[in-house]
Structure 1
Amino acid sequence: MGNLQETPSVAPLSAGGAIALEIRQAPVLTLIVFVPVVILLERISPGAHTLLFLMSVVAIIPLAALLSRATEAVAARTGDAVGGLLNATLGNLTELVIALAALQAGQYLLVKASIAGAIVTNTLFMLGGAFLFGGLKYHIQEFNRVNARFQACLLFLATIAVLVPSLISEVDQPPAVEVSQKLSLGLAVLLIVVYALGMLFSLRTHRELFVSVSHAEEDERLWPLTPSLIVLGVVTLLVALVSEIFVGSVQVAAEHLGMTPAFVGFIVVALVGAAAEMTTAFSAARADRLDLSVGVALGSAVQIALFVAPVLVLASYFIGPEPMTLQFWRGAVTMMVVATMAAALLTNGGHGTWYTGVMALALYAIFAFTLFVLPPANPL
């Protein structure tokens, strides 16, 4: 007894100390200085659109990293299903802010291209990247295929709702604009109701079906819950502010950089808007938490299709120059349908490998290259 030495205890870090340590250990967070710089530059030189566009993209990167880390901490305490929903919701605020700003300016092509691009980006690029990054570290990763099938079914329903207004515009005697607007309004309300009932089903009445199957150990460096929630709120506001600057400069900058509005909305806006969710999905896959990655990727796409798009239709009656419809150009509809079918096929087995990710990313690259070299001549 006398020879036993008492092991000195290490005092746990305070909430502020834990976050400060995280910032020091992540060099990418040093880019946070671009957030006040781009805000100040927008006040001083609002006409420098190309510079504002590039700097706003850089400023979103550290904000996405902070949002990812805080969301992981919350998800570890609420479960991957709720965590994925939380990350998808906060991440989609960026797309919603960008789309609302474009909607108010009457840039409906940019709005619709960003909606279609967000769905395709989340189901192919984000999901494929998660499979690739996770598969390079782990031979085979498992996830709850019931959740994946559920999300894929919701996404398929949403693409059908978008397909109907687009199809009726192609008939021999297309209906009047007022008919298309009424149809889109009714479908928007229906999609929001379906989305709300889907959340009730997955988070309340049948939540046992959506339990994570990942085997990752809890990260000891997770932030405390309260500071994580505070960071989520503050960073979300900053992302929204930087996104407004991004919207104000993206059109002119795109012309200077030789990009079309369809490519900007479908690819650039979608990738920038999903930066926070991608960071979470990729890092979760590397930590063998593929359930969270799949939940973020497909959950975000479902939320865009069933909630964000209908909300934009409703908002157009109040802030837009005229009501917006759910009528997309044929190329966008085709890409959304194909992406939905690909996501259903790739997640059907309940396990992921690196080559699964390669196939999803290859399909996304085909779409991106096609839009870049051959934009739609008459998209709407």
Structure 2
Amino acid sequence: MIFAGVPLVIIGALMHWSAILMFILCCLTIIALAGVIGRATESLAIVSGPRIGGLLNATFGNAVELIISIFTLKAGMIGIVLASLTGSVLGNLLLVLGLSFFMGGIKYKRQNFNIHDAKYNSGLLIFAIIVAFVIPEIFSMTMDRPTTINLSIGISIILIALYLAGLLFKLVTHRGVFDSEKTDGGEKETPEWTKRKAIIILILSTVAVAFVSEQLVHTFETIGERFGWSQLFIGIIIVAIVGNAAEHASAITMALKDKMDVSVEIAVGSTLQVAMFVTPVLVLISLFMPEPMALVFTIPELVAMIAASLLVINLCNDGESNWFEGLLLFAAYIIMGIGFFFL
């Protein structure tokens, strides 16, 4: 039953079903597969601990986003790729973290998470979103496209190197600083799947997502024309929500279990991974595509990401959360979604 949607997508592709039906079918299949990826990474998280578990969940969740973006790049839809990356940042910071704070806050009134993690994430958010994304935008105004591409390549290499250095800092050299002071969960949990089974399911799910994502990309143009949706709206709202379905479910589930260290690591850690690893990797991959992608977002995308980052930094730096803070983040996401819909 896990991969039930995949045969239907194959049949639909061979029989040339309507774009609307294929769009719905592909979205539902990817969300279902993302849920399987989330369950597998949660099983691995129980074995490896909250920090590694959160990183694994974010990584395999973003693998879906990366695969969709690669096929979208191949189709020459650079606007949708940049919009989906923006949507991933906004979705993780405002929607996922907001719903996690809200749902967890209703159950536990006030929840705590590692303040050292919060301050570390704040610094990286300022660097990745406000520095690394703004610089190409400003400098590209006085550059031709080839020079802008070269600037994007240089910044992308630096971002990837810093992301890997950050993992080394957080997981190896300064691991003790980021260890949680409380034990999440009380009693010892038993993983749903064994380590071997979880890894096999992750591999099969990722392969299935790759196929379904390619079929999904073929529907974008028709869907946009039929419903009057811009590439910006499709990328920021639709693709981002579908591509990050695994993180959405896992982060909220962890918050309901009062495992806020894992929940925050999934939401904010996934954002940092998108900004500092997935985005620059896509810039480098695009060099082998028909049209290279510059690290230049539109002004509305850039302003929205900066606003979301500053709001999250302000709410998270005390290491505490409650339902009202979650409602603030969720309301900000709705406001931005309305804006991009009418843009």
| Deviation readout 1:103-157 (Å, 9 max, x if unpaired) | 1121111111111111111111111111112112212111112112212321221
| Deviation readout 1:305-359 (Å, 9 max, x if unpaired) | 111111111111112x232211111111101111111111121111221111110
Residue 108 of structure 1 pairs with residue 78 of structure 2: yes
Amino acid at match of 1:132: F
**Match of residue 20 from structure 1:** none
Instruction: State whether residues 44 and 191 of structure 2, in contact with CA within 8 Å, keep that contact through their aligned partners in structure 1.
Output: no
Instruction: State whether residues 38 and 61 of structure 2, in contact with CA within 8 Å, keep that contact through their aligned partners in structure 1.
Output: no
Match of 1:192 among 160, 181, 184: 160
Report how many aligned residue pairs link the two structures.
340
Amino acid at match of 1:371: F
Separation of aligned partners in 1, 2:208 and 2:238: 19
**Match of residue 59 from structure 1:** 29
Q: Using a 3 Å threshold, how does the CA distance of structure 1 residues 190 and 62 change in structure 2: closer, same or farther?
A: same
**Match of residue 348 from structure 1:** 317
| Deviation readout 1:146-204 (Å, 9 max, x if unpaired) | 1122123212211111111111244xxx2222221111111011101101100100111
Look up the SS of the partner of 1:215 in the other structure.
Answer: coil
Match of 2:329 among 319, 336, 360: 360
Q: Using a 3 Å threshold, how does the CA distance of structure 1 residues 114 and 220 change in structure 2: closer, same or farther?
A: same
**Match of residue 133 from structure 1:** 103
Alignment of structure 1 residues 184-223 onto 2, 5 Å: 184-212=152-180, 213-216=182-185, 217-220=187-190, 222-223=192-193
Separation of aligned partners in 1, 2:212 and 2:122: 31
Amino acid at match of 2:9: V
Instruction: State whether residues 152 and 298 of structure 1, in contact with CA within 8 Å, keep that contact through their aligned partners in structure 2.
Output: no
Q: Using a 3 Å threshold, how does the CA distance of structure 1 residues 323 and 60 change in structure 2: closer, same or farther?
A: closer
Amino acid at match of 1:55: L
Alignment of structure 1 residues 193-342 onto 2, 5 Å: 193-212=161-180, 213-216=182-185, 217-220=187-190, 222-319=192-289, 321-342=290-311
Deviation at 1:95, TM superposition (A): 1.0
Where relative contact order (Cα < 8 A, 6+ residues apart) is larger, the structure is: 2
Separation of aligned partners in 2, 1:221 and 1:190: 37
Q: Using a 3 Å threshold, how does the CA distance of structure 1 residues 145 and 240 change in structure 2: closer, same or farther?
A: farther
Look up the SS of the partner of 2:218 in the other structure.
Answer: helix
| Deviation readout 1:277-331 (Å, 9 max, x if unpaired) | 1111111111111111110111111111111111111111112x23221111111
**Match of residue 136 from structure 2:** 165
RMSD: 1.6
Instruction: State whether residues 31 and 58 of structure 1, in contact with CA within 8 Å, keep that contact through their aligned partners in structure 2.
Output: no
Separation of aligned partners in 2, 1:61 and 1:106: 24
Look up the SS of the partner of 2:263 in the other structure.
Answer: helix
Amino acid at match of 2:294: T
Larger Rg: 1
| Deviation readout 1:224-245 (Å, 9 max, x if unpaired) | 2221222222222222222222
- Between 358-367 and 203-212, the greater mean CA deviation after superposition: 203-212
- Identity percentage of aligned residues: 38
Separation of aligned partners in 2, 1:255 and 1:211: 50
Deviation at 1:257, TM superposition (A): 2.3
Residue 36 of structure 1 pairs with residue 4 of structure 2: no
Separation of aligned partners in 1, 2:144 and 2:335: 35
Look up the SS of the partner of 1:51 in the other structure.
Answer: helix
Instruction: State whether residues 46 and 190 of structure 2, in contact with CA within 8 Å, keep that contact through their aligned partners in structure 1.
Output: no
Instruction: State whether residues 33 and 205 of structure 2, in contact with CA within 8 Å, keep that contact through their aligned partners in structure 1.
Output: yes
**Match of residue 378 from structure 1:** none
Amino acid at match of 1:69: R
Instruction: State whether residues 148 and 295 of structure 1, in contact with CA within 8 Å, keep that contact through their aligned partners in structure 2.
Output: no
Q: Using a 3 Å threshold, how does the CA distance of structure 1 residues 221 and 195 change in structure 2: closer, same or farther?
A: closer
| Deviation readout 1:4-51 (Å, 9 max, x if unpaired) | xxxxxxxxxxxxxxxxxxxxxxxxxx6752232122212221x52111
Residue 178 of structure 1 pairs with residue 167 of structure 2: no
Structure 1 alignment gaps of length 5 or more = 1-29, 376-380
